[in-house]
Structure 1
């Protein structure tokens, strides 16, 4: 049984891969952006992360979205829907939370299939 940890630190790894499945979390680099900007950044970063493990957004299995204000769900959904390839939406949960950095509006936890 092998668990691959990419860029591990004392508190987390950028990506953890086990049994052909990748797990990772992303937030926007620029926390001063509005919801649209944070989502665009976050999803661009997610694409880069997926590429590092030989995957892409069509291989997403599940995404958990942590949002600080449900008033931003419309903007989130607009960016999300434009980003996803047709007929490949993963299962999804969206939770209202308080994030560690109050400037963050959204954080996402991804689960994706990776190449063998």
Structure 2
């Protein structure tokens, strides 16, 4: 399995400081580079690779926070790997796209990860 070009997950009912704590413990470095409203930018590094992270509070309604790793050099090969870890560490429901956004993929097919369970589902809005 090849790495996805980037990683994006959506975490339900989680606070920004909890996400930042997880990222700070998991990655080699995480530094805030700016915020505008509910969108927060970070520079990060992992095993010598530097990349940007965008965290968007209330990305989908009031419940969801989006975390977008703008790189394929993260600790995770695919979005689902990241979702599994985030769900376990943050004890929250996490969703991610079911595939790596290739031509012909269903854009509404997502993984829902919660309490060690993984369910493929259609996610239009929540």
Give TM-score, length-normalised by structure 2.
0.32
Give TM-score, length-normalised by structure 1.
0.33
Higher relative contact order (CA 8 A, sep 6+): 1
Higher share of residues assigned strand: 2
